[in-house]
Amino acid sequence: MKDSIKQRFLRYVGIDTQSDESSETCPSTKKQLVMLEMLRDELLAMGLNDANMDENGYVMATLPANNGKTSPVIGFISHVDTSPDMSGANVKPRIIENYDGGDVLLNQELKLVLSPSDFPEMKQYQGDTLIVTDGTTLLGADDKAGVTEIMTAIEYLTSHPEIKHGPIKIGFTPDEEIGRGVDFFNVEKFGADWAYTMDGGEVGELEFENFNAAHAKVNIQGRNIHPGYAKGKMQNSLLMAMEFNALLPVFDRPEFTQDYEGFFHLIKMEGSVEKAGIQYIIRDHNRALFEKRKTTMLQCAEFMNARYGDGCFSVELKDQYFNMREKVEPVYHIVETARKAMQALGIEAKIKPIRGGTDGSRLSYMGLPCPNIFAGGHNFHGKFEFVPLESMEKATRVILKIVELNA
């Protein structure tokens, strides 16, 4: 199984599937369709005769039950796109056999080193096979590791018909990295009672709660006057933006928070003396605190308008996703099933909140409860990304064990 996982993963990361948040199409980039079409064809070749890709690039397929009884319909979902944060073109993965626990030279020319002094979690993979980048691109384990694990598990089940199982649904989506991964996902067509996204990090991660999330855009209207004659007249919108930001609590920033703590994250600032705009993402696991954070943004704008004049500040708030815990807790047995699957394989389940979002969050609110399971990778979205081959094998075996427990 391990060699099959390696070859499949290397094939998948060789396809550039970077998404584009500036695009208005679905998928946001046509190159994602190359991999999605490949996955559809591979599923058809495995005997999943209903495998199809719709007009938006979503791939769905069914492995029919072979256990002769009525069982829950479970699904496994991953996304094919890679982050816009760094290039996903011409990925040249390197294989580090029997990793010795020390530094890994990624790129001699760039003098780029992947080191456990920076990433101490590397130490736990001593003796494993690491797949790393060449230092010029991301790797794409987010989420081609998850895709690989699902495809390998399905291939294993189709070649071992003696393993009894209920109906299994497979789904592959575009554009998760730009927050649009399930915009057109047809839950009714998918037809699962519940599902799991294979999109987590290190071995053992099991997540059924995540941030509530919103985006805030603050528009600032200043007043530009010739600087030689500006006294008492000029209102510099760039300085006004800085003043607005200073009203927010300093220690409620990402770099000072952890676990269940939420934050305001300034992600963009642009403009001139006359006019400026600043953008934030707002996050909190607690729904009441999340709503309070949005109210704080509006109160800051009110304060600034009282200082500089009505209409100088306006805030556009848009909810992005909500904590899936509310939808998963009523069917918590699906989390317990995943935990038991890991336990049976000698894997300690690390149940913790996601400090981010997942397709599973939105799917849970669309009627498909969908916890998240580890895919095995580390340092996503950048040149220091790596994934141990053995971690992908463990994730694949977790899928198979969940299938067995639901048979």
Pairing of strands 74-79, 168-173: parallel
134, 175, 176, 359: which is the annotated catalytic residue?
176
Q: How many CB atoms lie within 10 A of CB 327?
A: 20
| 297-to-123, 301, 368 alpha-carbon distances in Å | 42, 6, 32
Which residue in this structure is represented by tokens 């009505």? 310
- Gap between the Cα atoms of 156 and 63, Å rounded: 12
DSSP string, 136-186: SS---HHHHHHHHHHHHHHHHHHH-TTS----EEEEEES-GGGT-TTTT--
Token pair listed for 397: 């075996």
**From start to end of 161-252, where are the E strands?**
168-173, 194-200, 205-207, 212-221
- Gap between the Cα atoms of 321 and 240, Å rounded: 30
**From start to end of 272-344, where are the E strands?**
275-284, 313-321
Q: Is 284 a catalytic residue?
A: no
Q: Is 81 a catalytic residue?
A: yes
- Gap between the Cα atoms of 4 and 152, Å rounded: 7
Token pair listed for 100: 């010795």
- Gap between the Cα atoms of 341 and 349, Å rounded: 9
| 59-63, strands of its sheet edge to edge | 52-53, 59-63, 168-173, 74-79, 194-200, 372-374, 205-207, 350-351
81, 199, 205, 359: which is the annotated catalytic residue?
81
Residues that are catalytic: 81, 176
